[in-house]
Amino acid sequence: MNSRHKIALGGGGFCLYAPRFPRYQHHPGFADEVLISNVLLPRLYNIAVLEDGCLLDFHNSKMDVKNGVLHCEYSGVRGLKMREQRFVTTDDRFVCNIELENTTKNDRDVTVVMWTTTDVEGEPPSLEGDSFRIRRQLSMDDCPPVPTEIVFGSPDSKGARCLQGVFAEGGSDRPDYEETPWYGVADFPTPSAKRPMEKPSPIHPNSHVYLGVFRHYAIKSGTKQTHRFEANVIFKGKGINYRPRRPDPKDESGWLAFRDKAPKFTCEWKELERIVEDRLRAIHLLRCPSGVGNISSPNITKGNGQFHLPNSFAAAAALREVRWLQDANLGRGILKGFFDNVRQNGMVPGNLYMTSLTQCGFFHADWGRGFEAFDETHPDKATKRAVIMEMQRFTKWLANNRDPEGSGLTDIVNQIESGQELSRRFTVIDDKSDRSEAHEEEFRVKGIDASVFRYRLVSFLHQVAEELQEKAMANRFHAAKEVIHDIIRKRMWDEKNAIFMDLDPKSRRRTGVKAAVGFYPLGTDIPTPAQQEKLLKTLADRKEFWTKYPVPSVAMSDPHFDPEGKWRGTRRDTPWNGRSWPMINSQILESLAYVAERSNKPAMRLCKELFKRTVAMVSGELEGIEVARICEHYHPITGRPSRYRGIDLLMHSFLMDNVFRIAGGFVVRFGEIQNDPVIDDMPDFKLQGVPVGNKRYNVERKNGKLKVNQD
């Protein structure tokens, strides 16, 4: 399966099928990796069809995703055709509906088998007549375990039987039924009673357990037979008993219900349609419901692979995307989910785990602008009251722990919490900083991005406190805002290089590293007009940041700049020494729009050109495909994505928000939609279902004129 055409299936629950490197998507079942909360399983189950004890070797001839369901067709074998519907439900069931059609003149007797393997550790599997059950404390790396129970069965059939489980050595990870211990047996062995399996003694190393469910049935000539197999994932453990509501049988993946409350966007610039569709698809697949342990409110995970868990860095960015949904519950849940779990010392957890918040880490996230953007479309005093006290505690924690000397600038103490590993921003402070993979203090540098994020947070909280008539609190936020504003402008601005820079707290000097985060102050009132003009010139400099597909994470003049993602001679997963990252482009596009809306013509030109190049980079245009897939990072010269990472579902950028602001040329302010173009030559478009408070609007630009009508 080509990595450019990967399949992702989800129902907005805690489970996801989005393999990073798919090998067997054309096989029936879920033979590639699946995600159960933040745990990766290399495979879930396989489907095999047998006739007279011989395997029927079906070959996939067509795959198509429609309304959240993968529809597969398989070439006929001796007059027998097979179709498959594969999807993940909103209540975390991995489902395969198999249809077999007999096109011959003879009746056929076939057997369909669902089978899987599991490890021999932990609680033994339970064989239950027509199903089997696996209970495990699943975990990855050092993360807290997820108490999981998976029931494999065929719920729509009384004729299904459980196969006798077998402990076995050998075999590969391929979905080949011939490797199972049942293939060479004349009859299908079944357990004599419903009971847990007995472990053999001794248990040999590298052995595993084969488990399966099968069903015999006859298919008369010219008729069809359908059959449903599923793996139902249940979260049950100490303090956790998650019971989700069963979905609508006509919309088990929840895609239609989600799409009904999402904006409908059509545009003459078709690449923009692809980007918006990709962002909505990502929101649907990565959202997760409430009710399990620490995830007490609806939330959103960062991405696929190891990123399938709520992450504060991604959540703050996602607020700019989910604000366009008509249902505000997801955005409000993101805010409450993280700030309900603020640690005792005031720190916002970097990751939310179901069972524990130990080793949750911390990330510098743009909570202020994310909350402000969400509040523009979904204003709600109750939400503000619910989180403002914890947000105030968080700002105090930042002041005490990331600015102990009271400078007004914010420290980054390891490369992980910045979200920007492998960067000279940190090796100039500590040459061994790039070896760290822990959320522990290893150095201190006053980060320009972290300081801007803190400034945005106290600025917005000042507005919120005034709205809620919390005068004393508002005064404290206002005082902090003024201090941070002045110190960033005076101490972090480098006149010689015309960019904002990190500061070494020991030497009290700027680090000299020209990083793309130095443009983040453009989106605020921090720079003076003179600084603003010089920043724009630095961004447009072809010898520094204006590559063919900008913006590289560090300037081309940096001694560690490498467009191919190599760091110290090795291509790395997350290099921040020259790749173009959509998360940076989103921030800089928003900042350029902020300047351009104040009639700054150089900012307008840069905004238009950067937007065009970003669209070309992420929309599939450069790869010749008609599906947008927003990867982690891109080559700043060729614009090619980091396919080698396998990560193409991510919420660390807010490109849909950029599309509506820049290409749409409108903004939501003071409870209304205003025409405020920031570039010329905007495309005609129609956007239906824009939420503003409790009202819905249709926004359309036709022949350069914006029309807004209440829906």
Examine the pLDDT at 557 and tell me if it is beyond 60: yes
Query: Which residue in 52, 53, 20, 49 sits closest to 34, CA to CA?
Result: 20
Is residue 136 within a helix (H) or strand (E), and if so which, with residue range?
strand 131-138
> In the structure, what pLDDT confidence band is assigned to residue 1 with cuts at 50, 70 and 90?
very low
In the prediction, which pLDDT does 51 show? 93
Per DSSP, the three-state class of 190 is: coil
Examine the pLDDT at 599 and tell me if it is beyond 60: yes
Is residue 618 within a helix (H) or strand (E), and if so which, with residue range?
helix 601-618
Per DSSP, the three-state class of 252 is: coil
Determine contact, residues 222/269, Cβ cutoff 8 Å. Answer: no
φ and ψ of 57, to 5 deg: -90, 85
> In the structure, what pLDDT confidence band is assigned to residue 487 with cuts at 50, 70 and 90?
very high
Average pLDDT score over residue span 126-143: 94
**CA 374: distance to chain centroid?**
18
In the prediction, which pLDDT does 3 show? 57
In whole angstroms, what is the distance from residue 649 CA to residue 661 CA? Answer: 22
Question: What average pLDDT does the structure give for the chain?
Answer: 95
- pLDDT tens digits, 293-345: 999 899 999 999 999 999 999 999 999 999 999 999 999 999 999 999 999 99
In the prediction, which pLDDT does 619 show? 96
Domain over 3-241 is classified CATH 2.70.98.40:
yes
Average pLDDT score over residue span 435-450: 93
Percent of the chain with pLDDT over 70: 99
Q: Quick one: tokens of 579?
A: 């790749």
Query: Which residue in 695, 700, 693 sits closest to 675, CA to CA?
Result: 700
Percent of the chain with pLDDT over 90: 92
Residue 582 to residues 270, 317, 513, 522, 560: CA-CA distances in angstroms? 19, 11, 21, 17, 20
Q: Amino acid letter at 366?
A: D
In the prediction, which pLDDT does 310 show? 97
Residue range(s) in the chain whose domain bears CATH number 2.70.98.40: 3-241
Cβ burial of 490 (10 Å; 0-12, 13-18, 19+) is exposed
Per DSSP, the three-state class of 217 is: strand
In whole angstroms, what is the distance from residue 674 CA to residue 181 CA? Answer: 67
Q: Which residues contact 361 (CB under 8 A, 6 or more apart)?
A: 349, 350, 351, 416, 417, 439
Q: What is the DSSP letter of 525?
A: S
Examine the pLDDT at 25 and tell me if it is beyond 50: yes
Average pLDDT score over residue span 170-188: 91
Examine the pLDDT at 615 and tell me if it is beyond 80: yes
In the prediction, which pLDDT does 485 show? 98
CB atoms under 10 Å from CB of 529, counted, come to 8
- pLDDT tens digits, 416-431: 999 999 999 999 999 9
- Of 157-166, 515-524, 565-574, 643-652, least confident by mean pLDDT is 157-166
Query: Which residue in 128, 110, 135 sits closest to 188, CA to CA?
Result: 110
Query: Which residue in 167, 170, 180 sits closest to 214, CA to CA?
Result: 180
Instruction: Show the DSSP H helices in 468-600 as ranges.
Output: 471-491, 529-539, 582-596
In the prediction, which pLDDT does 2 show? 56
Q: Which residues contact 394 (CB under 8 A, 6 or more apart)?
A: 339, 342, 346, 347, 348, 367, 457
- pLDDT tens digits, 62-112: 999 999 999 999 988 889 999 999 999 999 999 999 999 999 999 999 999
Examine the pLDDT at 641 and tell me if it is beyond 60: yes
Determine contact, residues 26/60, Cβ cutoff 8 Å. Answer: yes
Q: What is the DSSP letter of 662?
A: I
- pLDDT tens digits, 272-286: 999 999 999 999 999
> In the structure, what pLDDT confidence band is assigned to residue 170 with cuts at 50, 70 and 90?
confident
In whole angstroms, what is the distance from residue 445 CA to residue 365 CA? Answer: 16
